[in-house]
Amino acid sequence: PTPAETQTPDDAETPAPGEPPEQEPAGHGEDAGDPAEPQAADPPTAVAPPTVEPMEDPPAEQAAPNGSAPVEPIDGLRLVEHVNDRTVVIGSDEPDSGYKLKAEITSWGAGIKRMTLADFRMGADGDWADEPYVIIDTPPTSLAWYAATSMRINGRLINLATETQWEIVGTQETSDQNTVTLKATVVDGQGATVAEVVRTFRLIKGSYDLRLEQRVHNRSGRPLEIALLQTAQGDMIQDPAAYLGDRREYVTGYFDPEYDNKLRIYTEGSHINRGSLASDPRIWPNPELGGADRYQLAWIAAENRYFAVVSHPAVPADLTETAQVPPLTDTFGSIGVQVRERANAGRDNKAVTLTMASQRRVAPGEAADLSLGIYAGPRKKQVLADPPYAALHLDHLVRYNIGGMCSWCTFQWLAKGLLGFMKLIHAATFDWGIAIIVLVMCVRLLLHPITKRAQVNMMKMGKQMAALQPEVEKIKKKYKDDQQKLNAEMMKLYREKGVNPAGFLGCAPMLLQTPIWIALYAMLYFAIELRHEAAFYGLFQAISGGHWHFLQDLSVSDNFIRFIDPNEPGITIPFISGFLGQVRALNILPLMMAVVFFINQKFTTPPPANEQQAQQQKIMKFMVLLFPIFLYNAPSGLTLYIFTSTLFGILDGYLVRKHIKEQEEAGTLFDKKPRKPGGFMDRMSKAMEQKQIELQQKQREAQKGGGGASRSPKKRKR
């Protein structure tokens, strides 16, 4: 961008946008001190927090953008010292305050030390039920999120985060917002002011957006080539229900100007697992996306199971048009990743922090605007449907996908539709546990015709194949050296005995149910609506005076008997805790699932037709017993759904077996049902018969050609 595009007029005697007036207004802090003073934190520690790695030293004279004249270096640049370590609090995490956020801003790097949410708690019981959810928490030895770390002025590197503290200019609170302004002043060797970096953090009531209004003012009489480096978001707090492993991800939203002229923001191909980013620190251009020169970065998010922190362009709070959203890279042209080793962190000993850099040429008396918007809140559709999040398309953060092999068949429209239906049930029952059970009943009833048809076909085919097994073995033995003749005789046998080869597709309808069950599974795991919600109107807590934790929180395991606090280290089981997590309680629902799984399989598995099928059924029985072990630490909302579904599956299977038995007694089990002309099964049967006719025709032609029936046709070269 040209200087005209990146600078704003600046008057030395008039405060720049975002700067407070000379008279400090009342502060907003936790302690009841002098109202004109910002809140003070603990005294500074002896060891300074580490900063991100500084940018490489540029040449003494560096060329400016657009081929303009190079700038001269300035000797003796340094920061004006402010050694008092202070923290200022803006906003509030009290639910009745009107604010959605409380942010603690530190004078060390002018970053966010800690941020909590007013409407969400850390836990469902005990002391944690009163603790606001911590969405940003900087370790004591780490640099704060969104801290300014270093700056180059005409090629000279200045450290903004370790040598001195920023000056806290003042705070201001009105009826609808709360701000704090910090300033770093750079002087030359003669003590004359060269530049000022002014940062104002602004919180508005009712908003999950923290606005960082940042400007670099040129107070010298010469052009300045400014390059600012700052941190962005880093690792989110990992969800305690680590049943599916570390679900933290980094997501980039981007424009595709060549496709739709910036009318939409996309996230396809931009989800990066936090573990992958720690080993391959590239976030933008995204190495998985491909063709990154074609795309423009709109925003970047760090997320865990339920919450997200998003760096996005500074846009008006009432923005509704996506076309008016500027690319984030217009402000910060470079997005990087810093990975640090953490001491005493166990297996996960790496910490990931994003970095952002911007380079501008600033004319004398003007300022470069490097403002930024920061969303810190829930991954919740109702919140992200409001301006400006809808224009930013932050609704892409609401996803229901457990990843792995199930990704390709997890349809978001289906998962969101099921969640919407479950919300309707909850609106009538006022209990999420009952809503899950009713949802399972409705899905089972909807799929009953498909389930019934599949099970009947499987039973019939099992009985028919068992009756034909002696003749099948004779054919296999007789034509073991001639595969084509073997296939022809098998088809002939099927026709004589009235066995339709298309009946082997009897289990195909069952596959149609798979996307529904996977969508239900993913939706129940990621639905923030279930977080800290008890099942069955809190009955188990009511009868125990609040001491029984069973089904107290549908987003974690059922905790039938909890023997270790959720925030304390649990029991590590070798080879299992790696993917299940630590054990802190006796969970009864997975054990009950093992029982109903075994019963369901016992009654639904047809008799084996041969030794191979018998062996396969033994393996399946073993896997059925292992499945509840894999689900031992699964959220109770999930296990309640699977347990209920399996119970109804047993009832479903009973009705199907009763139907088959009645047909057997009436002698109509193997009667051919009139097939609707042009139906799917009719077309499938005719297609298979046509293929068989074509195969036999080719065999006859091969025999006429003198090749003999036992001679296989040559494969065509591809």
In the three-class reduction of DSSP (H, G, I as helix; E, B as strand; rest coil), residue 195 is classed as: strand
Predicted pLDDT of residue 53: 47
Predicted pLDDT of residue 679: 58
Q: Both 304 and 434 in a single domain?
A: no
pLDDT digit string, tens, across residues 514-539: 788 888 889 999 999 999 999 999 99
Lowest mean pLDDT among 48-52, 544-548, 563-567: 48-52
Tokens at 427, concatenated: 């609106």
Tell me the mean pLDDT in the region 117-133: 90
Query: Is pLDDT of 713 > 90?
Result: no
Predicted pLDDT of residue 407: 64
pLDDT-based confidence at residue 716 (cuts at 50, 70, 90): very low
pLDDT-based confidence at residue 406 (cuts at 50, 70, 90): low
pLDDT-based confidence at residue 692 (cuts at 50, 70, 90): low
pLDDT digit string, tens, across residues 18-37: 333 333 333 333 333 333 33
Predicted pLDDT of residue 491: 82
Predicted pLDDT of residue 671: 66
Residue 104 near residue 40 (C-beta atoms within 8 A) = no
pLDDT-based confidence at residue 118 (cuts at 50, 70, 90): very high
Tell me the mean pLDDT in the region 620-640: 84
pLDDT digit string, tens, across residues 220-271: 989 999 999 999 999 998 887 667 778 899 999 999 887 877 789 999 888 8
Q: Both 393 and 529 in a single domain?
A: no
Residues facing 548 on adjacent strands: none
Does residue 361 lie within any of the structural domains? yes
Query: Is pLDDT of 41 > 90?
Result: no
Q: Both 84 and 181 in a single domain?
A: yes
Contacts of 464 (CB under 8 A, 6+ apart): 497, 499, 503, 670
Q: Both 148 and 175 in a single domain?
A: yes
Average pLDDT taken over every residue of the chain: 80
Q: How many residues does the chain have?
A: 718
Lowest mean pLDDT among 551-560, 574-583, 585-594: 574-583
- Answer with the residue of higher pLDDT: 106 or 37: 106
Tell me the mean pLDDT in the region 371-376: 98
Residue 453's identity, in one-letter code, is R
- Answer with the residue of higher pLDDT: 573 or 154: 154
Query: Is pLDDT of 686 > 50?
Result: yes
**CA gap 613, 466 in Å, rounded:** 11
- Answer with the residue of higher pLDDT: 392 or 45: 392
Predicted pLDDT of residue 602: 77
Token look-up 């996506």 returns: 322
Percent of the chain with pLDDT over 70: 77
Does residue 702 lie within any of the structural domains? no
Q: Both 526 and 655 in a single domain?
A: yes
- Answer with the residue of higher pLDDT: 119 or 165: 119
Does residue 10 lie within any of the structural domains? no
Peptide bond into 285 cis (omega under 30): yes
Predicted pLDDT of residue 236: 92
Tell me the mean pLDDT in the region 543-569: 90
pLDDT digit string, tens, across residues 318-352: 999 999 999 999 999 989 999 887 766 555 678 88
- Answer with the residue of higher pLDDT: 374 or 667: 374
By residue range, what is the domain housing residue 457? 407-666
Predicted pLDDT of residue 262: 76
Q: Classify residue 166 by its DSSP letter.
A: P
pLDDT-based confidence at residue 467 (cuts at 50, 70, 90): confident
Residue 616 near residue 566 (C-beta atoms within 8 A) = no
Predicted pLDDT of residue 346: 55
Domain boundary among 399, 434, 449: 399
Q: Both 472 and 377 in a single domain?
A: no
Query: Is pLDDT of 39 > 70?
Result: no
pLDDT-based confidence at residue 703 (cuts at 50, 70, 90): low
**CA gap 519, 509 in Å, rounded:** 17
Q: Both 327 and 421 in a single domain?
A: no
Q: Both 434 and 495 in a single domain?
A: yes
**CA gap 203, 210 in Å, rounded:** 5
- Answer with the residue of higher pLDDT: 260 or 9: 260
Query: Is pLDDT of 460 > 80?
Result: no
Predicted pLDDT of residue 316: 94
Predicted pLDDT of residue 408: 64
Lowest mean pLDDT among 55-59, 449-453, 565-569: 55-59
Tell me the mean pLDDT in the region 612-625: 75
- Answer with the residue of higher pLDDT: 117 or 645: 117
Count helices and strands (H / E) in the chain: 14, 23
Does residue 713 lie within any of the structural domains? no
Does residue 516 lie within any of the structural domains? yes
**CA gap 38, 168 in Å, rounded:** 8
Tell me the mean pLDDT in the region 615-632: 78
DSSP string, 508-565: HHHHHHHHHHHHHHHHHHH-GGGTTPPSGGGHHHHTTTT---TTS-TTS---SEE-S-
Q: Both 365 and 469 in a single domain?
A: no
pLDDT digit string, tens, across residues 183-200: 999 999 999 999 999 999
Does residue 443 lie within any of the structural domains? yes
What domain count does the chain have? Answer: 2
Predicted pLDDT of residue 122: 92
Domain boundary among 371, 399, 427: 399
Contacts of 297 (CB under 8 A, 6+ apart): 252, 253, 254, 255, 284, 327, 328, 329, 335
Query: Is pLDDT of 707 > 80?
Result: no
pLDDT-based confidence at residue 294 (cuts at 50, 70, 90): confident
Tell me the mean pLDDT in the region 576-599: 84
Query: Is pLDDT of 44 > 50?
Result: no
Q: Both 391 and 418 in a single domain?
A: no
Instruction: List the CATH number of the domain containing 153.
Output: 2.70.98.90
Predicted pLDDT of residue 88: 95
Does residue 9 lie within any of the structural domains? no
**CA gap 681, 135 in Å, rounded:** 55
Q: At what angle do helices 588-604 and 636-666 cross, to 10 degrees?
A: 20
Sheet of strand 111-121, all strands in order from the earlier edge strand to the far edge = 87-91, 101-106, 111-121, 132-137
Does residue 116 lie within any of the structural domains? yes
Q: Both 394 and 423 in a single domain?
A: no
Predicted pLDDT of residue 521: 87
Domain boundary among 341, 375, 399: 399
Tell me the mean pLDDT in the region 429-453: 90
Query: Is pLDDT of 420 > 80?
Result: yes
- Answer with the residue of higher pLDDT: 429 or 687: 429
Tell me the mean pLDDT in the region 277-298: 78
Query: Is pLDDT of 50 > 50?
Result: no
Percent of the chain with pLDDT over 90: 43
Contacts of 490 (CB under 8 A, 6+ apart): 472, 475
CA neighbor of 382 nearest in space, from 420, 413, 411: 420
Neighbours of 140 (CB within 10 A): 8
Q: Both 373 and 506 in a single domain?
A: no
